């Protein structure tokens, strides 16, 4: 049976030793965020994840959600767990204290989020979507809406969703048909159908606050005519007590491959009361706040489910006796040696470990850059961090969710036939991980966003915020013998990324299909280099800074990092070759030849 152990030591190391937090040292709100405080937060989150949420993971998958007369019932134990998690404040770590939140940095909250997702991905979705809705309302909502809705969402008493997709449109939101009819009191009447709405209906919270994309009757066509509206499931009085239902109906729930304990709903809005968020016809600007938050959240999902699979695979490889080591028996007193003695099993486990720990470092580092983009005192530092986060968000979402699929599939392989058997728990991770590559913008869409928008934004300025630090790091350590095993592979792969970027910039101007055909390979190349940069920075940190972890921890880090550099990073060579081959073979086949 699969087991779960929160990566508490790795998170503490990254938080306390790896991150350079100097950019936020003068921020008053964070002055009380000491290692003692963060360690206590991480340890308690680990306990909640291991003892409360993980035991509900498989049973939730087996039971799933049910729909009866418009009411969704979540699996046994979920409601009690939701009360415990929200009452303890685990869903509002980054929310403003003015609304009852804790006002903590994102790098802390996202580390906690990883542990919660690892233990029970379906459960985590109910919490995570509320934070995304909170972010959009907090930034674009009127003061009246903030006061009326945010305290209840922060407490967990009310939850939130995002309602974008309709039967006729997914990525192409310009095709939205939902209508918003203005009323004399300034509100709107919302009517329309939405599908694939995660947590659109559930029995965990008293009320559900839907953020809905819709059009007013005189709105411009296409994407320029979309507005964002707050639509509660149940109307409320001024004191926050609930009033009458608001014409929001769950008409169906999807029967899915994975995340079965998360209700994915078809929603009908029937003349429902709605309230404008942000400016009229500027709904996508507000929704992108929620979507970008969600894309980082989904990237963390990829990392988290990968870690869960790694926990199970390592435990099984150490316990399962099968065959003898190629160099002679390692446990002669037993009928066979454990799986972990075999080189190919070690290759799989190290692949899982190197991807997962590299992804966690990238997550912690990018989450801190998000904090800098919100909180830094220096406007230039703030802007630079914002542009770096914008550049890396599609890379983070797509690359980490691809890793989630690779690692969970590899975990099944470590188990062999037993991994294919449902009772052992490993196949659930692969089923759960697979959605991460699809929702919040498919990974192909993320790749197009990277090459089509992020590379060209501000005349290519976004790229400098990643390329320049990597170049400076390589130049500073090019003759450092202690780091040679990390610096040389990073330099080679970074050169490939630079060449690929130049190729796409030049070819894409004359033929957009060139950029489109290269996009997914380019994003993967970018992700591999970004992770290599993390591993090189970890190696530098371990070699030159005295830390608090045991020597065995640091030795394991360095060996794992070298495995990444030697066995996984060389993929960048093949990716560059594929990119440079151009779009001809991709685009020349006629439709009737498929």
Domain-wise residue ranges, the chain: 451-586
Q: What is the mean pLDDT of residues 544-561?
A: 94
Is the per-residue pLDDT at 287 higher than 90?
A: no
Rounded CA-CA distance 467/483 in Å is 20
pLDDT of residue 435: 98
The string of pLDDT tens digits covering residues 444-482 is: 999 999 999 999 888 889 999 999 999 999 999 999 999
- Indicate if the alpha-carbon torsion angle 414, 420, 422, 428 is positive or negative: positive
pLDDT of residue 170: 78
Q: What is the mean pLDDT of residues 124-151?
A: 96
Q: Which residues of 419-438 are buried (b: 16+ CB within 10 A; e: fewer)?
A: beeeebbbbbbbbbbbbbbe
Check: CB of residue 135 under 8 Å from CB of residue 292. Answer: no
Q: What is the mean pLDDT of residues 56-67?
A: 98
DSSP assignment of 151-218 equals: HHHHHTSEEEEEE--BTTBSS-GGG---EEEE-TTS-EEEEEEEEEEETSS-SSSSEEEEEEEEB-TT
pLDDT of residue 286: 82
Q: What is the mean pLDDT of residues 361-388?
A: 95
pLDDT of residue 284: 85
- 113, 405, 440, 514: the active-site residue: 440
Q: What is the mean pLDDT of residues 262-286?
A: 95
Specify whether 440 is catalytic: yes
The string of pLDDT tens digits covering residues 389-410 is: 999 999 999 999 999 999 999 9
- Return the structure tokens found at 568: 């996984």
The string of pLDDT tens digits covering residues 183-208 is: 999 999 999 999 999 999 999 999 99
CA dihedral 149, 151, 153, 158 (to 10 degrees): -80
Which pLDDT band holds residue 29 (cuts at 50, 70, 90)? confident
Rounded CA-CA distance 209/565 in Å is 46
State the chain's mean pLDDT as an integer.
96
């Amino acid at each position: 049976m699969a087991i779960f152990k929160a990566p508490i030591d790795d998170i503490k190391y990254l938080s306390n030793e790896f991150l350079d937090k100097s950019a936020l040292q003068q921020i008053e709100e964070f002055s009380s965020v000491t290692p003692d405080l963060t360690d206590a937060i991480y340890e308690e989150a680990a306990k909640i994840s291991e003892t409360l949420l993980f035991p509900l993971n498989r049973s939730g998958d087996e039971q799933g959600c049910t729909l009866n007369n418009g009411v969704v019932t979540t699996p046994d134990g979920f409601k009690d767990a939701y009360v415990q998690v929200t009452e303890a404040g685990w869903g509002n770590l980054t929310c403003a204290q003015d609304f009852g939140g804790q006002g903590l940095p994102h790098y802390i909250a996202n580390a906690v989020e990883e542990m919660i997702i690892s233990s029970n991905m379906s459960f985590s979705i109910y919490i995570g979507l509320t934070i995304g809705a909170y972010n959009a309302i907090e930034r674009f909502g009127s003061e009246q809406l903030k006061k009326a809705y945010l305290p209840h969402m922060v407490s967990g008493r009310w939850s939130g969703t995002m309602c974008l997709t309709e039967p006729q449109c997914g990525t192409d939101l310009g095709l939205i048909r939902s209508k918003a009819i203005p009323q004399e009191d300034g509100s709107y009447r919302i009517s329309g159908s939405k599908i694939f709405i995660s947590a659109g209906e559930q029995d965990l919270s008293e009320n559900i606050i839907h953020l809905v994309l819709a059009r007013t009757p005189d709105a411009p066509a296409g994407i320029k005519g979309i507005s964002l509206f707050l639509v509660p499931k149940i109307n409320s009085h001024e004191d926050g007590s609930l009033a009458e239902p608001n014409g929001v109906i769950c008409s169906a729930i999807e029967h899915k491959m994975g995340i079965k304990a998360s209700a994915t709903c078809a929603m009908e809005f029937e003349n429902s009361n709605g309230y404008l968020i942000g400016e009229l016809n500027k709904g996508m600007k507000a929704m992108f706040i929620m979507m970008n938050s969600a894309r980082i959240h989904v990237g963390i999902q990829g990392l988290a489910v990968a870690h869960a699979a790694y926990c199970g695979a390592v435990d099984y490889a150490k316990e399962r006796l099968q065959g003898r080591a190629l160099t002679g028996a390692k446990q002669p007193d037993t009928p066979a040696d454990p799986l972990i003695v075999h080189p190919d099993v070690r290759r799989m486990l190290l692949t899982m470990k190197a991807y997962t720990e590299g992804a966690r470092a990238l997550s912690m580092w990018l989450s801190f850059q998000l904090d800098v983009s919100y909180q830094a005192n220096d406007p230039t530092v703030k802007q630079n961090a914002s542009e770096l986060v914008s550049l890396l968000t599609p890379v983070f979402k797509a690359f980490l969710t691809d890793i989630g699929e690779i690692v969970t599939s590899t975990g099944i392989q470590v188990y062999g036939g037993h991994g294919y058997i449902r009772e052992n728990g490993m196949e659930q991770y692969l089923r759960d991980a697979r959605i991460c590559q699809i929702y919040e913008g498919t990974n192909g869409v993320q790749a197009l966003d990277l090459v089509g928008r992020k590379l060209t934004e501000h005349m290519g300025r976004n790229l400098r915020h990643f390329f320049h630090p990597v170049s400076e790091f390589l130049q500073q350590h090019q003759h450092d013998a202690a780091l040679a095993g990390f610096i040389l592979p990073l330099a080679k792969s970074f050169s490939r990324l630079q060449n690929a970027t130049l190729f796409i910039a030049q070819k894409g101007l004359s033929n957009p299909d060139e950029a489109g055909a290269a996009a997914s390979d380019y994003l993967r190349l970018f992700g591999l280099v970004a992770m290599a940069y993390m591993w090189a920075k970890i190696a530098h940190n371990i070699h030159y800074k005295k830390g608090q972890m045991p020597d065995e921890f640091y030795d394991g880090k360095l060996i794992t990092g070298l495995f990444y550099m030697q066995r996984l990073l060389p993929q960048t060579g093949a990716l560059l070759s594929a990119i440079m081959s151009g779009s001809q073979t991709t685009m020349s086949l006629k439709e009737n030849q498929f």
